[in-house]
Amino acid sequence: MNKILIAEDEPAIANLIKTALDGPDYRCAWAADGIMASDMLEQESFDLVLLDIMLPGADGYEVLEYCRTLEVPVIFLTAKGTVEDRVRGLRLGAEDYITKPFELMELLARVETVLRRCGKTGRVLFLPPDLEIDTAARTVCRGGVPVALTAKEYDLLLLFVQNKNIALYRDSIYKKVWGDDYLGESRTVDLHIQRVRKKLGLENRLVAVYKVGYRLEV
């Protein structure tokens, strides 16, 4: 079950989306303006925001900034369909962009894709050739055999799998996995990386990046 926030000032459109998505897989909440959307994001955790650009209160670009600080993925949903708007939205960090009017089937497909890409679904993530991560059960199998990971090792693995081929800074890894500020002298990240590599056979793929941190090569 994923929680989705619909930030949309036109009730008819919000309702249409809510009706299409609500069910066993998704539960939707509706915010009619940008301020209300920000308040709801602050109070509750959402897995995805469907965000209209032209919103009263605070516009979609402002709400997007807020979503980014909370690390909630965003799909822009808007009548503004020019190339410039599309590029601006994606540059600012939206995961996807849907132009109104849209087909509900298309919306559903994009919602599913973004949630999966961001590791928000209960689906199993694959890391070729032999790793399977069940994000609902928080279990990892290597070649079909379960591997026991500690909670932090699992969080670390998931972070890299969700950011494949991206060099992650030690301090941001520390902040995301340990939820605390990195003070610079800690070996915690390095020690956990070594254990994850060894347990999962990632010695050649979870590589150190000089002066930065680590990158998972896929």
Interface with Ca ion by CB under 5 A: which residues? 9, 52, 54
The span from the CA of 160 to the CA of 206, in Å, is 8
Shortest CB 133 distance to Ca ion, Å: 38
**At 21, which helix (H) or strand (E)?**
helix 11-21
Q: Which residue is associated with the tokens 């601006």?
A: 88
CA–CA distance, 216 with 202 (Å, rounded to integer): 9
Shorter beta-carbon distance to Ca ion: residue 60 or 73 = 60
- CB closer to Ca ion, 10 vs 106: 10
Residue number, 9 or 132, with CB nearest to Ca ion = 9
182 secondary structure, DSSP code: -
Tell me the residue nearest to Ca ion as measured from the CB: 54
CB of residue 8 to Ca ion, shortest distance in Å: 6
Q: How far is the CB of 138 from Ca ion (least distance, A)?
A: 38
Least spacing, CB of residue 174 vs Ca ion, in Å: 39
Measured from the CB atom, the residue of 54 and 166 that comes closer to Ca ion is: 54
CA-to-CA distance for 84 and 171, rounded, in angstroms? 34
**Is 5 or 115 the residue whose CB approaches Ca ion more closely?**
5
- Residue 216: helix, strand or coil by DSSP? strand
Rounded to a whole number of angstroms, the minimum distance from the CB of residue 55 to Ca ion is 6
Q: Would you say 95 and 117 are in contact if contact means Cβ atoms under 8 Å apart?
A: yes
Q: What is the C-alpha separation between 208 and 109, in angstroms, rounded? A: 36
Q: Is 155 exposed, middle or buried (0-12, 13-18, 19+ CB in 10 A)?
A: middle
| Comparison of 62 and 171: residue with beta carbon closer to Ca ion | 62
Least distance from Ca ion to the Cβ atom of residue 79, Å: 7
Structure tokens at 20: 């299409």
